[in-house]
Amino acid sequence: MPKLADHPSREELSAYSLGQLPEERAVAIDSHISECEPCCETILELSSEDTFAGLLKEAGRLSTDQTAEQDGATATSASFDEIPPPLSEHPRYEVLGLIGKGGMGDVYRARHRKMERTVALKVINRGLVQKAEAIDRFHREVKAAAQLSHPNIVISYDADHAGDFHFMVMELVDGIDLSQTIKKRGALPVAEACDYIRQAAIGLQYAHERGMVHRDIKPHNLMVTVDGTIKILDFGLASLAPEAIPASDAVAARSDLTAAGAIMGTPDFISPEQANDARQVDIRSDIYSLGATLYYLLSGRVPFDHGSVIHKLKSHAQVEPAPLNSVRRDLPEELVAIASKMMAKDPNERYLTPKEVADTLVAFLGRFRGEIVMSSRGNRSSWVYSLAILALLGCLWIGWRDFDPHLPQEVVRETIRSTLRRIIQLLVQYVVPIGLVVFLIAELVAKLRTSGRRV
């Protein structure tokens, strides 16, 4: 087996991950990385691009060499000089500035010149649409995505080109993606995480009923708006990458896991069957990726957070992730079972449609919130009982202190009446207000817990 004297370059490691190298060179690198931790880490770093198209960019030295981190962090508005001239001169869209960069391409804020509508304009990496058939496919996919009109899916308005820059025009969403949310807040409360996944499942069901599979479901492609609505990004784009990869005869000897065209997705959230052959997947692959996303939202980490790209892909196919309740001990067993079923290795053992996922989560949330309400009511009852007992003890103490059995009956009766008046006065002044405050606080805590927010 050939050995390497020097470390492969970053670009060559990208090409290796995509299966673009000749067989002899690929075998040599495979042997090298099995003994070289730095090169394994480089491959892992390259895999953190927002899709495998990011690896294509590295391997092909495309023009958009500087990219955002995996969390899709947005950039400040770019200067006009950074906007490619063909875009800045587009007759229908005024490009206002750069929002961010990613593996699929650059995203700009733009405005329709006639309608004066502000939109997001996603310019596809030119390396992904070099071939005529890739361009045709891009326009077909965007046309199909434009038919999706749903509250949980980012709207696609248009597709066009400026010179050799092909782009799609999308709804501009006011929010952040779930990857950024987790980076800022850590693992989410149970009800909040489940509601986000439920909304995404509803959006996927809508697309599924119209014959579409996303193929790249992950936290980065799930935006949460200021009012808590989840919107799925990039419908229609995930199928572009296979077209940009060289013909299969160039990589015929490579492993099935890295053969060109076999992988499309993100290694932390990809389904086992998609890692094997992206062209043959169905909606159950999206359900797996959605389950991996649920795992991430609840635990604050991906299912397999160590190793190279190849190691992660093999883990998705062969290894069970650490049980969620071993990572986070407050999770109900029922929810752990739901996530496990969504991430079953065999597609036939998963939920068969996103609707099943959404319905299951609705039922779970009903029971989960009911338990919280009952617990809160129990706590409120405990407070009420405690206050009542304290009031009764206070009354007995006051009466015992003022009672003298040797007094005449008329004086005793007057003493009792006086004591009762004092008790009522104490109740009005102290016990009732304090009880009301405690009740209101308990109600507020219950509502916050039920809505899934931390107190």
Active site residues: 216
Handedness of CA 43, 48, 49, 50 (dihedral sign): positive
By DSSP bridging, strand 175-177 and strand 222-225 are antiparallel
Supply the Cα-derived Rg of the chain in whole angstroms.
30
SS3 162: strand
CA-nearest of 269, 250, 267 to 259 is 250
| Cα distance from N-terminal residue to C-terminal residue, the chain | 60
| CA separation for the pair 292, 269 (Å, rounded) | 6
- Determine which helix (DSSP H) or strand (DSSP E) holds 65, and give its type and residue range: none
Q: Where are the alpha helices (DSSP H) in 343-431?
A: 354-402, 409-426
| CA separation for the pair 148, 154 (Å, rounded) | 9
| CA separation for the pair 337, 343 (Å, rounded) | 10
| CA separation for the pair 77, 290 (Å, rounded) | 32
| CA separation for the pair 116, 359 (Å, rounded) | 40
8 A C-beta contact, residue 93 and residue 86: no
Q: What angle do CA 196, 284, 20 make, to 5 degrees?
A: 105
* Sequential DSSP letters for 237-296: TTTSHHHHSPPGGGGTTS-TTT-TTT--S-TTT--HHHHH-GGG--HHHHHHHHHHHHHH
